[in-house]
Amino acid sequence: MLYKIYYAPYNMKIRPFLAALLPLIACSCSDNTPTQSTANTSQAELAQTPPLGWNSFDSYGVYLHEAAALANIEAFAEKLKPHGYEYFVIDAGWFGEFDLQPGTIYPAEKHAQKLNFNAYGLLQPSETYFPNGIQPLIDRCHELGIKFGIHLMRGIPREAVRLDLPIKGTPYTAADIADPNSICVWNDQNFGVDMSRPGAQEFYNSLMDQMAAWGVDFIKYDDIVPYPEEIKAVAKAIEQTGRPIVLSLSPGGKVDPDHLEAFTKAHMLRVTHDIWDEQKGIDECFAAWRKWQGKERPGFWIDMDMIPFGQLQLMSPKPEGVRGDESKKELLKKIESGELENFELLSGKGFTRWSKFTEDQMYTFITMRALAASPLMMGGDLPTLDDRSLELITHAAMLKCNQNGVMGHLVYEANGIEIWKTPKRESADGWIGIFNRTPESNAASLTIEDLGLDPGQNYALFDIWGDEAISGLDFSINPNGVVFIKYSLD
């Protein structure tokens, strides 16, 4: 039985829109019981290399809908899967019964106030955006050999606490385990769970049991990084399901290294705020790289967030009265003054656009991800993805460096130039990035020692982005640009 909070009927105006776009899918009626191969895979054996995938947040915010999800699954299979990408991940909002702008599929609220959950407080798919549920999406992913992921917020729905719903399989209720003082600062849908209370672990067990029964292969857990006890509870709950599920922890920003023992119970740890198509996000990633270099290992990866290439924020068209380049603070001021009426500042950053990265910023961004062995989670819309973005995220040499699984280290820093070196596992070969960290063109005359290499050896150096051998060490690097080098003993 489903319990729908303040249930609002499915918006009939978008049903024809979705029906017209939905491809025909032959859904197998699988019970999603783990196969023999997956059942024999332990949590510790997962993510032995940095996970590769797609996440819906950069392109759809928390408003991914059924037709867009299906279109991106098909594009994923065509464009990304042949290059080793595995995980198709639906971000937040999949359980929200959103109010919509009249006559459209666009949201009229940032986070849904009406959630869909069952009699045990377990979230269920939105009837607004997923009228056929998400099981057809999961099944289609699996038919195509793609693994399915989903986003969850730490805790238990506040409305489930108000209704004092039972915790499945226990004599306890939501009110018994909730901590009303443990709240997310950007999302008011949940209360945190007090793991010292009876029934708390059982709640997370029941939620992970549902995820496993659906066939989920990857979970992005948000608002959980500052709460190590709930991280441990989720990891334990996944383990008891018997289904191998990759666990990704968010958000980044202020991440306490003292909690590393809890973090390593997951497979991915976000160490940055949300990264968008602007230089300050690249700069934050460099700072995080310095802090976390050397903490990675097979099965645990330092995550610098998604790749904001291609089309972004498709569910946030620019409204009248907005230029599109205003800061959030400026927009809030216009809303408060009444200059912007009937306007809701939606999830994500900015409005519908193509990524604003320059070509050199794109090269720097993806080179950094390769050398730092950060998981590669594409964020832009896949059906409309431009050729240059696709070329960069599927580049064979870049992927080989990333999947090497070694987080490179800083070997040189002077005059706005940083050099990061990533050795190849069990080899004298490896990769080097010479980054111009300034907004101006920069010249660098370097030595073999500057590159972190042994001057007593002879090396063959190859410029990956220039696709040519390197004969000298004098470089002119574009603003915020990079030279990406493969080195090997000659």
- Domain check: are 188 and 232 in the same one? yes
Beta-carbon count within 10 A of 334 CB = 17
Determine the 3-state secondary structure of 218 from DSSP.
Answer: strand
One domain, residues 226 and 290? yes
CB distance 285 to 368 below 8 Å: yes
pLDDT beneath 50: ranges in the chain: 1-37
Same domain flag for 175 and 288: yes
Q: Which of 406, 424, 442 is the last residue of a domain?
A: 406
Q: How big is the chain by its Cα radius of gyration, in Å?
A: 23
> DSSP 3-state assignment of 88?
strand
* Count of residues making up the chain: 490
Same domain, 292 and 426: no
Q: Is residue 43 part of a domain?
A: yes
Determine which helix (DSSP H) or strand (DSSP E) holds 19, and give its type and residue range: helix 15-21
Report yes or no: 250 and 223 within 8 Å, Cβ to Cβ: yes
User: Tell me, what CATH number does 363's domain have?
Assistant: 3.20.20.70
- For 75-225, list the strands marked E by DSSP: 87-90, 116-118, 147-153, 156-157, 178-179, 190-193, 218-222
Residue 328 lies in a domain: no
Give the burial string for 87-103 (b: 16+ CB within 10 Å, else e).
bbbbbbbbbbbbbbeee
**Are residue 11 and residue 54 in the same domain, yes or no?**
yes
Q: What's the one-letter identity of residue 172? A: Y
Task: Tell me which of 406, 430, 451 is where a domain ends.
Answer: 406
Nearest to 42 by CA among 375, 299, 377: 299
- If one counts the domains in the chain, the total is 2
Give a yes or no: residue 329 inside a domain.
no
Residue 236 belongs to a domain: yes
Residue 325: inside a domain, yes or no? no
Tokens describing residue 208: 């992970």
Instruction: Please indicate, yes or no, whether residues 433 and 397 belong to a single structural domain of this protein.
Output: no
Q: Report yes or no on 108 lying in a domain.
A: yes
Q: Domain boundary at 341, 373, 406, which?
A: 406
Shared-domain flag, residues 99 and 53? yes
Domain contains 382: yes
23 to 20, 45, 137, 140, 420: CA distances (angstroms) = 8, 35, 11, 11, 46
**Cβ pair 206, 167 in contact under 8 A:** yes
Question: CATH number of the domain that 425 lies in?
Answer: 2.60.40.1180
User: Quick one: tokens of 5?
Assistant: 């909070």
CA dist., res. 207 & res. 213, Å (int): 10
Q: What is the pairing mode between strands 87-90 and 147-153?
A: parallel
Residues 270, 250, single domain; the answer is yes
What is the reported pLDDT for 40?
64
pTM for the model: 0.92
In a shared domain, residues 15 and 82: yes
- Asked whether residue 344 is assigned to any structural domain, the reply reads no
Same structural domain, 295 and 440: no
Which residues pair with residue 100 across a beta bridge? 107
In 3-state terms, the chain is what percent helix, strand and coil (to 5)?
A: 30, 20, 50
> Rounded CA gap, 124 and 210, in Å?
10
pLDDT at 487: 98
Q: What is the residue-wise DSSP string for 346-399?
A: -SSSSSSEE----HHHHHHHHHHHHHTT--EEE-S-STT--HHHHHHHT-HHHH
What is the structure's pLDDT at 118? Answer: 98
Same domain membership, residue 415 and residue 276: no
Give residue 238's domain range: 2-317+352-406
CA distances from 9 to 5, 12, 95, 127, 292 (A): 11, 8, 14, 8, 47
Based on the fold, state whether residues 435 and 362 are members of the same structural domain: no
For 185, how many CA atoms within 13 A lie in the half-sphere containing its CB? 2
